[in-house]
Amino acid sequence: MLNTEQHIDSLIIGQGLAGSILAWQLMQCGQQVIVVADQSAASASRVAAGLFNPVTGKRLLLQADAETVIPAALSFYDQLEQRFKQQFFHNKEMLRILRSEKECDIFNQRSQDSAYAPYLGDSCATPALLKAEHGIFVQCKTGYLDTNALLDCMKALFVAHKSYIESCFRHDDLVMKEAMVSWHGINARRVIFCEGFMATNNPWFNWLPFQPAKGEILSFTSDQQLPEQIINAGKWLLPVSDGSYKTGATYDHNLSNIEPSNACKSELIDGLQHLLKSPLNFKLVDHQAGVRPNTRDKQPFIGTHPSHPQLAIFNGFGSKGSMLIPYYAERFVHHLSDGSAIPEEADISRIRYD
């Protein structure tokens, strides 16, 4: 721990995608930042497949403000790739399998809607190995983010800038002062909590209606030639750049146990086999579980505490962190720098605080 007092702009708690991307963007604006991270604790970002998909769910819903959010994310990852000389975002076409007549009708409706035009391709022939009774179509502007590569590079950069402390932040250790906070000799104008689902234990922000959802993912190798696109039929199959595959994900609001379970492993293997015409030979290489920081109204939680302006939160990115975080980090950095508005749908002032 540090011996002398330090004065910084922002103390950031958590080095998942939210804490890392926000810290990086603040640093780009010349702010002094320290990231406090407990790498031994659960991190959704370390488990996530990083899928990037603008049109999701049974109703094929287009991400709100897709025309702003998606370019912001892609240009951000491009900027990082140039800085680190490493690829993080992998463009990859997605084949969406339609699972019922109802989904076919929805696809036909969406195809007529000009807002969907950049994201929905045509119906296509079913690749030999796949089962697709009701048809299949191409989704565009899809891919995946290599979250672990990105987080490792970010951590190395924070360490090099002496902006990283490996520690479990205890909320009791934070000293509130006039218009600032102090923690172990570090005086900061603000602390920004990016704790993922663990924000539910944060004494200042536990009034926010989080609805965390556990999820599990399998990684495997196979000597069979699987499609090179991402296959999505609710459960998905992702060919990863190292030649292995991932399949996921389960979804469960019961957090009594956040470890990988045999029941979910079976669910994922069944889901994978269900995509294919014949049984797959595969070798399981990993089985991970994580908790998504979902919120009840499915919108992020961003803003400063109603009674303590030196405390802020940047969280609630649910199942879409890789697509949403760069855009909202940019908007939050503007807010912190010049007071410009946080996007209304994400501003925590929408939630009543008693």
Ligand X SMILES: Cc1cc2nc3c(=O)[nH]c(=O)nc-3n(C[C@H](O)[C@H](O)[C@H](O)COP(=O)(O)OP(=O)(O)OC[C@H]3O[C@@H](n4cnc5c(N)ncnc54)[C@H](O)[C@@H]3O)c2cc1C
Q: How far is the CB of 306 from ligand X (least distance, A)?
A: 21
Check the CA dihedral 280-286-291-292 and report its sign: negative
Rounded CA-CA distance 327/314 in Å is: 12
Rounded CA-CA distance 208/351 in Å is: 7
47 makes contact with ligand X (CB under 6 A): yes
8 Å CB contact between 119 and 54: yes
Alpha helices in the chain (DSSP H): 17-28, 44-47, 66-84, 101-112, 147-160, 262-275, 321-338
User: Which residues 190-209 are close enough to bind ligand X by CB under 6 A?
Assistant: 194-196, 198
336 makes contact with ligand X (CB under 6 A): no
Q: Which two tokens stand for residue 49?
A: 């497949």
User: Which residues 145-174 are close enough to bind ligand X by CB under 6 A?
Assistant: 168-169
Nearer to ligand X, 126 or 261 (CB): 261
55 makes contact with ligand X (CB under 6 A): no
Q: Is 52 exposed, middle or buried (0-12, 13-18, 19+ CB in 10 A)?
A: buried
State CA 270 to chain mean position distance: 25
247 makes contact with ligand X (CB under 6 A): no
Nearer to ligand X, 107 or 205 (CB): 205
Q: How far is the CB of 123 from ligand X (least distance, A)?
A: 24
Closest CA to 301 of 185, 216, 195, 217: 195
Among 217, 233, 275, 348, binds ligand X (CB under 6 A): 217
With CB atoms as reference, the residue minimizing the distance to ligand X is 16
Closest CA to 76 of 52, 99, 47, 95: 52
Q: Strand 51-52 and strand 143-145: pairing? A: antiparallel
User: Which residues 58-97 are close enough to bind ligand X by CB under 6 A?
Assistant: none
Q: Cβ atoms within 10 A of the Cβ of 129, count?
A: 15
Sketch the per residue contact string, 302 through 331, with ligand X: x for CB under 6 A, - otherwise: -------------x-xxxxxxx--------
Options 34-42, 86-94, 224-232, 343-351: segment touching ligand X (CB under 6 A): 34-42
Q: Number of residues interacting with ligand X: please give it, by CB under 6 A.
A: 42
Residue 107, helix vs strand vs coil? helix
Nearer to ligand X, 104 or 226 (CB): 226
Q: How far is the CB of 62 from ligand X (least distance, A)?
A: 16
Options 178-186, 267-275, 289-297, 343-351: segment touching ligand X (CB under 6 A): 289-297
Nearer to ligand X, 15 or 304 (CB): 15
Which residues of this chain interact with ligand X, rule CB under 6 A? 13-19, 36-38, 41, 43-45, 47-51, 168-169, 194-196, 198, 215-217, 248-249, 290-293, 315, 317-323
